[in-house]
A and B are shown apart, each in its own frame.
With several copies, the nearest count.
Chain A
Amino acid sequence: MIDTAHALRILEAVLFASETPVSILVLRQAFEDEYDTQPDQKITNAQIESWLNQLSAKLIDSALELTKTASGYRIQVRPEYARIVNRLWPERPIRLSQALLETLSVIAYRQPVTRADIEQLRGVTVNSQILRTLFDRQWIAEDGFRPVAGRPALLVTTKHFLDAFGLQSLEQLPELQEMNDIIHDLSEKKSE
Chain B
Amino acid sequence: MNQIAESEVETQIETDTEAYTESLTAPFARVNDEWFSELPDDLYIPPEAFAIMLERFEGPLDFLLYLVKKNGLDLVKLDIAPIATQYLNYISLMQQLDIELAGDYLVMAALLADLKSRLLLPAPKSLTVEDDPRQSLLARLEEYARIKQGAAQLNDQLVEGRDVFAVTVGVSHVLPDDAEPEIVRFDAEILQLAMRAMLSRPRVVEHRIIAEEVPLEDRIIAVRHAIQHGKSIRFDHLLVRSQGRMGIVVTFMAILELLRQQEIEIVNDGLKDDLQNNTHQNATLLTIRGRTHAA
Name A's B-contacting residues (CB within 8 A).
Answer: 16-19, 21, 64, 67, 69, 74-79, 82, 85-86, 92-96, 98-99, 101-102, 104-106, 108-110, 120-125, 127-129, 132, 135-138, 159-160, 163-167, 172-179, 182-183, 185-190
Give Cα distance in the complex from A66 to B159, angstroms: 15
Nearest CB of chain A from residue B277's CB, rounded to whole Å: 30
B161 at the interface (CB under 8 A from A): yes
- Flag if B188 contacts A76 (CB, 8 Å): no
Q: Mark B182-199, 1 if CB is under 8 A from A, else 0.
A: 101111111111111111
A98-B194, A122-B198, A165-B157 known; A77 vs B146 contact (CB < 8 Å): no
Are A76 and B149 neighbours in the complex by a CB distance under 8 Å?
no
- Is there contact, CB below 8 Å, between A176 and B59? no
* Inter-chain contacts of A164 with B (CB < 8 A): 159-161, 181-182, 184-186
Residues of A within 8 A of B270 (CB): none
Stretch of B30-38, B100-108, B257-265, B285-293 that contacts chain A: B100-108
List residues of B (105-130) whose CB comes within 8 Å of A's CBs.
108
Known: A98-B194, A166-B185. A79 touches B158 (CB 8 A): yes
18 extra interchain contacts, Cβ-Cβ under 8 A, other than A76-B171, A77-B167, A79-B173? A77-B171, A79-B164, A101-B155, A101-B191, A102-B198, A104-B191, A123-B61, A127-B206, A132-B168, A136-B172, A138-B174, A138-B175, A167-B188, A173-B188, A177-B146, A179-B192, A189-B72, A190-B72
Decide if B192 touches A183 in the complex (CB within 8 Å): no
Measured in the bound complex, the distance between the Cα atoms of B154 and A75 in whole Å is 21
Chain B interface residue number, banded: 35 or more
State A153–B168 Cα separation when bound (angstroms).
20
A110 to B195, CA, bound (A): 11
Chain A positions within 8 Å of B199 at CB level: 121, 179, 182-183
Complex Cα–Cα for A178 and B197 (A)? 12
Counted as pairs of residues, one from A and one from B, with CB atoms less than 8 Å apart, the total is: 273
**Cβ contact within 8 Å between B72 and A77:** no
B87 to chain A, nearest CB (A): 12
- Are B191's CB and A75's CB within 8 A? no
Q: Does B16 contact A (CB under 8 A)?
A: no
27 A-B Cβ contacts within 8 A?
A17-B169, A67-B164, A67-B174, A69-B174, A75-B167, A76-B164, A85-B171, A94-B161, A102-B58, A102-B151, A102-B194, A104-B191, A105-B150, A105-B194, A121-B143, A123-B108, A125-B102, A132-B170, A164-B161, A166-B158, A166-B185, A167-B157, A173-B188, A174-B150, A179-B199, A179-B200, A186-B141
Other-chain contact of A159, B158, B177, B194, B204 (Cβ < 8 Å): B177
In the complex, what residues of A have CB within 8 A of residue B197's CB? 98, 102
The reply to whether the CB of B283 lies closer than 8 angstroms to some CB of chain A is no
A residues near B166, Cβ cutoff 8 Å = 21, 74-76
Closest chain B CB from A104 CB (angstroms): 6
Question: Which residue in chain A gives the minimum CB-CB distance to B191?
Answer: A105
Q: Are A190 and B70 in contact (CB under 8 A)?
A: yes
Residue numbers in A under 8 Å from B59 (CB-CB): 122-124
Q: Do the beta carbons of A17 and B191 come within 8 Å of each other?
A: no
Contact status A187-B204, CB under 8 Å: no
Nearest CB in chain B: distance from A161 CB, A: 9
Tell me the minimal C-beta distance from B255 to chain A in angstroms: 25
Within the complex, which residue of A74, A108, A177 is in contact with B170, where a contact is CB–CB below 8 Å?
A: A74
Among the listed B6, B140, B160, B169, which residue makes an inter-chain contact with A163, where contact means beta carbons less than 8 Å apart?
B160
Closest 7 CB pairs of A and B: A189-B72, A124-B59, A123-B61, A163-B181, A101-B194, A174-B153, A101-B151
Distance from A154 Cβ to chain B, minimum over Cβ atoms (Å): 17
Across the interface, which residues of B come within 8 angstroms of A176, CB to CB? 146-147, 149-150, 192, 195
